[in-house]
Amino acid sequence: MFRRLLVTSALPYANGPIHIGHLVEYIQTDVWVRFQKLRGNDCRYMCADDTHGTAIMIRARQEGRREEDLIADMQAAHERDFADFDVEFDNYGSTHSDENRQLCGEFWAAIRQAGLVKEQAVEQLYDPQAGTFLADRFVRGGCPKCGAKDQPGDNCSACGHHYTPIDLVDPVSTLSGAKPEVRSAAHLFIELEQLHGFLAEWTQSGDHLQPEIANYLQGHFLGEPLRDWDVSRPAPYFGFEIPDSPGNYWYVWFDAPIGYIASTQQWCRRTGAALADWWKSADCEVHHFIGKDITYFHTLFWPGMLKTAGFSLPTKVHIHGFLTVGGEKMSKTKGTFIRARTYLDRLDPSYLRYFYATKLTSRVDDLDLSIDEFVAKVNADLVNKLVNLASRTAKFVEKTGLSARYPDDGGLFAAAAAAGDEIAAAYEACDYNKAMRLVMALADRANAYVEENKPWELRKDSSQAARLQDVCTAALNLFRQLAVYLAPVLPKLARQTGALLNDPITRWEQSQAPLAGTPVARFTHMLKRVEEKDLYAMIEDSKQEAAAANAAASTPAAAVAQASPGGASSVQPVAAAQAAPEDRWNDGGDALAAEPLAPECTIDDFAKVDLRVARVVAAEEVPEARKLLKLKLSLGGGVYKQVFAGIKAHYEPQQLVGRLVVCVANLAPRTMKFGVSEGMVVAAGGGNEAFLLTPDAGAQPGHRLH
RNA sequence: GGUCCGGUAGCUCAGCGGUUAGAGCAGGGGACUCAUAAUCCCUUGGUCGCAGGUUCGAAUCCUGCCCGGACUACCA
C-alpha cells in the first residue's frame, strides 16, 4: 500500500546565500523524501525562493537594480548550492510567480468570503526621503520608558520595554537617516480569533505536531484570544497588490506559504498532474519541514488559511532546532557562519549529510557541529568501517564477479535484512540518529566477518578460489545492503555502489535479497578521509568573506560587489585590504557592523550626558534577578548612587568592590522590581557580552568625562 | 520570573520498572596486513546530577532541589 506524500522545506529568503544552518533543514527534508521514494511511495518535494518584502525592495534599491533581477540571481545561486549538496527538489519555484499570484487571490477571496478580513487604520512611521513606510527594524531611537538612546524599533535593549516605533523618542530612519513622520494607513487584518476553536482542536489532536510544540502553542497562544494578523502593507512594497484593495500589498508572510502550493502547481503543469490530487485530497499527506523560528506562522496562520480556503491541512509539521558550531551560535567573526559554497569549495557534501543525520532526532533540540566530532564520525563510520568493506574485498572478485549462488554467511545478511524494518521506522520518525546507529552496528559485524574469513589468505591458495569468491560475495552484499539503508543520506555512495555491482540502487527492497552471479566493476575510491586542516581552512575562508563583506558594506560604492552572489564565493576576497598601513592590529569589523554608528550629534547633545568616574564600594547579587548586580557607587565626598547593572553573568560581586568604573551620573532614576536604580554603569560589548571600562591611573571618583 | 527539554564512562549518545548498566569514539594491551595509518580480539573506565519517596525491586515512576539549554516574558 503506497502512500502519496507532498513534502516541503521552508522557502529560503532571497536576501542572502544558503549557509550550513539552512542545510540542516534541507538535508533533513531531502533525506526523508529520498527515504519515501526509495520505499516506493509517491512522494514529491516542493520548494521555492521567498522573494517579497521590504528587505528585498531596499536591497534592490541600494544595488540600483530591479527586484526581479536581484531575486533571479539569488535563486540561481540557491539552486546551485542545493544541487551540489544533493538536495533534490521535484520543483523549485518562486513566490514571485504567476501561479502564486493567482493562488494568493484564491486564498484571499475565500478568506474574505468567510468574513475574516477587517480593515483598520495603522499608524506607522514613514520615511519621506526614502518614500516608504518603515518596518520596526528600520527605525532606531530613544526608549520612551528609560530614555536609552539609539534603541531598535520594537523593544529596548537597556530596559527590555516593548513599544511600537511610533513611541520612540527622536526616531531616525536607518535607511536614509531622515526623521520619520507618523502617517496613518488602512491595513487589512485577518481575525484569527474566529478560527480559535478549530486551531485549538487541530494543534492538540492527532500527530500533527511534535508534543513539545503542541504544548507550547497551548501555553503561549491558545490560552487567550488570538490576535488579529496584519496581512497588508501599503505601497511601495515588493510583492503582489491586493486585487480588491488597490495600493495595498500582501504581507510577505501571507504569500510565502502559498508558495508551497504554487510550486506544486508549476510541477503539475509541467508533468500533467492535477493539483487537487496533491492539495485537496484526503489520500495525500502534506508534510512541512521548518525551523523553530517560524513555528507560529506554520502552526496557526497557515492551517487557518488552508482550512478557510479548502486545501488539505498539514499531516505533520516537522520542526527542527538551530545549528550551533562548537557549542556556540554561528558567528561571522569566528568564521563559523559558513556558506554552502564555502563548504563545497573545501569539503565533500556527503560528510555534512552524514554528520547531520547522526545528530538529527525527532525533537526540536538545537544541534551542534563540533570539528572533532565531525572528523571522528565521518572517518570512523563512513571511511574506516563502511567504505572499507568494499575497498578490502572488491578487487578479489573483479575478474570473477559474484558467486552464482549466495553463500552461507552465518545468517548475517538475513539478520541485517531483518533490521530493515527498524531502520525504516527510525527514518519515518525523523530519528536519523537512531537509523545511523543501527546501520553502523551492522557495518561492525560485516567487518568482523571479513576478518574471520581472511580473504587475503584464501587468495594465496588456488584451491580455495571458490571459497574466496564466496567470502567476497557475502562481504560485498553486506556492504550493498548498508548502501541501500544509507541511500537517503548518501545518494552518491548509493550511485557508486550501484556502479560497482552493476545494479543501480533504486528500491529499499534491494536490501532484502542478495545479488549473485553478477559482475563486479573495478573498484575506485568512494570517499576520502576528512582532514581537520580542511575544516580549519574553511573556517578561515569564512572569516575572510565576512571581513570582505564588512569592508564592502562600509563603502557605499562597494555595495555592487555584493550584488553578484554566484561569483562572490569563487573570488578570493582580500581581507580588510582597506586597513590603513599603520594599523598593524587590523581589528575585525564585526562589532561595528553589528551596531552601526548612531546619527551625528552635537557637542551639546553629548554634554547632556554626565559621565563620571565612580568607585564601586559595595556589590551584591540580586538573587531573584537573573542578570542584575546591585552596586553602590561612590562619586567621592560622600555622594553615593545605587545602581542595578546587568552584568551578573560576567562579574563576581567581590571582584568589583574597590575598582573604578564609569557611570552615567545624571540618568533619571528608575524604579525596578528590586529597587530604584540611580544611574548606569557603562560597559562595552553587544549581545551577551559586557566589558566594564577602567580609567587610567590618576582618575578619581567624581571626575567628569569630557 | 514562567514553560518545556535535558543532566548515564574522557567525548557523542542508547537504555526509560526486573538478571552483575550498554554502544561507538578516545585510552591501554595483543593479533593481522586484504583495505583510504583502515580491520579484528581483549581491556581500563560509571555511588546513571543531588536528596527524599513509592515498590519485593528504580538510571527507569513520584516530589523537592541543583546545573545546562531552548522558548517566553507583567506572563500562559
Q: Is residue A307 scored above 90 in pLDDT?
A: yes
Per residue in A618-632, pLDDT (tens digit) is: 888 776 666 778 888
Q: What angle do CA A588, A589, A591 make, to 5 degrees?
A: 105
Separation between Cα atoms, residue A140 and residue A107, nearest integer Å = 35
The closest nt to A448, taking CA to C1', is B40
Name the band, by pLDDT with cuts 50, 70 and 90, for residue A564: very low
- A335-344 average pLDDT score: 95
Cβ-count burial of A385 within 10 angstroms (0-12 exposed, 13-18 middle, 19+ buried)? middle
Per residue in A136-151, pLDDT (tens digit) is: 778 888 877 777 777 7
DSSP SS3 for A431: coil
DSSP SS3 for A334: coil
Please check whether the domain covering A4-106+247-320 is classified as CATH 3.40.50.620.
Answer: yes
Separation between Cα atoms, residue A43 and residue A46, nearest integer Å = 10
Q: From the centroid of its chain, how far is CA A31?
A: 17
Closest C-alpha among A285, A256, A323, A282 to residue A50: A256
pLDDT recorded at residue A645: 82
Same fold, A4-106+247-320 and A117-190: no
Q: What is the pairing mode between strands A670-672 and A675-677?
A: antiparallel
* CB of A162 nearer than 7 A to strand B: yes
Residues 339-378 of chain A with CB under 7 A from strand B are 358-359, 361, 363-366, 370, 372-373, 376
Grid coordinates belonging to A631: 552596586
Query: Which of A72-76, A163-167, A191-195, A576-580 has the least mean pLDDT?
Result: A576-580
* CB of A444 nearer than 7 A to strand B: yes
Class of the CATH-defined domain A388-511: mainly alpha
pLDDT recorded at residue A563: 31
pLDDT recorded at residue A583: 63
pLDDT recorded at residue A571: 26
Stated in angstroms, how far is A515 CA from B34 C1'? Answer: 22
pLDDT recorded at residue A561: 32
| ipTM of the shown complex | 0.94
* B25 closest protein residue (CA to C1'): A376
Q: For residues A465 and A674, which has the higher predicted lDDT (pLDDT)?
A: A465
Separation between Cα atoms, residue A69 and residue A14, nearest integer Å = 11
Grid coordinates belonging to A249: 500589498
For residue A608, the tally of other CB atoms under 10 A from its CB is 9
Name the band, by pLDDT with cuts 50, 70 and 90, for residue A589: low
pLDDT recorded at residue A552: 72
Percentage of residues in chain A with pLDDT exceeding 90?
A: 62
Stated in angstroms, how far is A622 CA from B2 C1'? Answer: 18
Stated in angstroms, how far is A481 CA from B30 C1'? Answer: 32
* CB of A208 nearer than 7 A to strand B: no
Separation between Cα atoms, residue A189 and residue A228, nearest integer Å = 6
- A514-530 average pLDDT score: 96
Per residue in A532-555, pLDDT (tens digit) is: 999 999 999 999 998 888 777 654
Name the band, by pLDDT with cuts 50, 70 and 90, for residue A669: confident
Per residue in A169-209, pLDDT (tens digit) is: 888 888 888 889 889 999 999 999 999 999 999 998 888 99
Separation between Cα atoms, residue A556 and residue A668, nearest integer Å = 38
Closest C-alpha among A508, A338, A365 to residue A430: A365
Stated in angstroms, how far is A21 CA from B76 C1'? Answer: 31
pLDDT recorded at residue A481: 97
Query: Which of A145-159, A281-295, A388-402 has the least mean pLDDT?
Result: A145-159
Stated in angstroms, how far is A372 CA from B10 C1'? Answer: 14
Separation between Cα atoms, residue A88 and residue A288, nearest integer Å = 16
Q: Which of A156-160, A412-416, A655-659, A660-664 has the highest mean pLDDT?
A: A412-416
Q: For residues A541 and A693, which has the higher predicted lDDT (pLDDT)?
A: A541
Superfamily of domain A603-692: Nucleic acid-binding proteins (2.40.50.140)
Q: Is residue A604 scored above 80 in pLDDT?
A: no
Give me the helices (H) in A90-161, please: 98-113
Grid coordinates belonging to A424: 525504516
DSSP annotation of A462: G
pLDDT recorded at residue A554: 59
DSSP SS3 for A704: strand
Whole-number average pLDDT of chain A: 88
Per residue in A211-258, pLDDT (tens digit) is: 889 888 988 888 888 989 999 999 999 999 999 999 999 999 999 999
CATH number of A117-190: 2.170.220.10
Grid coordinates belonging to A349: 557534501
The residues spanned by each domain of chain A are: 4-106+247-320, 117-190, 388-511, 603-692
Q: Which of A162-166, A213-217, A342-346 has the highest mean pLDDT?
A: A342-346
Angle between helices A54-63 and A67-84 (to 10 degrees): 110
Q: Which residues pair with A50 in a beta bridge?
A: A13
Q: Which nucleotides of B are covered by protein (CB under 7 A)?
A: 1, 3-5, 11-14, 23-26, 32-36, 38-41, 69-74, 76
Closest C-alpha among A192, A251, A257, A258 to residue A225: A192
Query: Which of A40-44, A221-225, A232-236, A334-338 has the least mean pLDDT?
Result: A221-225
- A365-369 average pLDDT score: 93
Separation between Cα atoms, residue A602 and residue A609, nearest integer Å = 12
pLDDT recorded at residue A12: 96
pLDDT recorded at residue A593: 57
Separation between Cα atoms, residue A119 and residue A244, nearest integer Å = 12
Q: For residues A327 and A552, which has the higher predicted lDDT (pLDDT)?
A: A327
Amino acid in the structure at residue A280? K
Grid coordinates belonging to A39: 520505499
Separation between Cα atoms, residue A556 and residue A562, nearest integer Å = 11
* CB of A440 nearer than 7 A to strand B: yes
* CB of A529 nearer than 7 A to strand B: yes
pLDDT recorded at residue A676: 76
* CB of A292 nearer than 7 A to strand B: yes
* CB of A219 nearer than 7 A to strand B: yes
| Helices and strands in chain A: count of H runs, count of E runs | 25, 26
What number of residues does chain A have? 706
* B71 closest protein residue (CA to C1'): A216
Question: What is the distance between the terminal CA atoms of chain A, rounded to a whole angstrom?
Answer: 79
Stated in angstroms, how far is A326 CA from B28 C1'? Answer: 29
Indicate the pTM of the whole model: 0.81
- Continuous segment of H or E residues that includes residue A229: strand A229-230
* B4 closest protein residue (CA to C1'): A212
Distances (CA, A) of A565 to A69, A71, A84, A558: 12, 10, 16, 14
Separation between Cα atoms, residue A53 and residue A238, nearest integer Å = 5
Longest dimension (CA), chain A: 103
- At residue A400, φ and ψ (nearest 5 deg) are -95, -20
Grid coordinates belonging to A286: 502534506
